[in-house]
Amino acid sequence: MPDKTAFALVDAFTTEHPFSGNPAGVLLLDEFPDRRWMQGVANELAQAETAFLAPGEDGAFRLRWFTPAAEVALCGHATLASAHWLWESGVLQQEVLAFTTRSGRLTAVREHNRIVLDFPAAPATQVASSPELLAALAGPVPAWTGVTDHPEAGERNMLAVLASEDAVRDLSPDLQAVARLPVGGLIATARRQAGGVVSRYFAPAYGIPEDSVTGSAHCTIGPYWRADLGTTLSAEQASPRGGDLTVTTTDTGRILLAGQARTAATGFLH
């Protein structure tokens, strides 16, 4: 690796307030270095996700995501951050960006002041609420529980639909119990009184006690709420930082995630 490697910290799925959304590290490299180096960088930057980009074929970029603890198969906010940084830094000016990832080909397009990501849907299949889930929720009893499908257990999410917006906002889960669930993360969601939906996401097994805004979780939230609330949802993730996005569930098994991003900082790794 060179003596200095540039990086950016980008807030993704921001609200109108500063220091909102989910920060992601973004590094543009010539080639992917040793996996241990990338994991070390992600741990050093200490963001929920750090994205590593390298040129690929047909004008696409290869893209990988690391939490402080592990590599993951899909990340929405770090993809949004990557697209934002590629455009803002002047590396690319084309209107459509393509990424080659472990979850297939993803795209990003600019629409006015927002970026729209095209992601695979990850609907949840209903399961019974287990004693382990109830212990993790530490109080609320979900009205509906489901689990997403993925060959790797750590890439699955559990979806808990709660009775009210306040139940989601006031949720104080037992994070040790959440980490013991047979999934990578726990999504809690409910209808929002002002319209749309509200959610929170917890993934302590990946070094993320609570994620600020989780694009990939909305690939599950959108399909669940579609029958009741329609194809397009306004969505709020009620983390301490908070974040907003629009979620569109298509008829082709894809999810469109739209949100804003801001560059928060740039620097060098030595």
Q: Encoding tokens for residue 207?
A: 């070094």
Question: Could you give the residue ranges of the DSSP H alpha helices within 30-137?
Answer: 35-45, 76-88, 131-137
User: In a 10 Å sphere around its CB, with 0-12 CB exposed, 13-18 middle and 19+ buried, how is residue 197 labelled?
Assistant: buried
Tell me which residues are annotated as active site.
49
- Rounded Cα gap, residues 42 and 114, in angstroms: 26
DSSP strands (E only) in the chain = 5-12, 22-28, 49-55, 61-66, 71-72, 96-101, 104-111, 114-120, 124-126, 144-148, 157-161, 185-191, 197-203, 208-211, 232-237, 243-249, 254-259, 261-269
User: In a 10 Å sphere around its CB, with 0-12 CB exposed, 13-18 middle and 19+ buried, how is residue 174 labelled?
Assistant: middle
- Rounded Cα gap, residues 198 and 178, in angstroms: 20
For tokens 């669940």, the residue is 224
Residue type, 268: F
First to last CA, the chain: 10
Contact present, 62 and 32 (Cβ < 8 Å):
yes
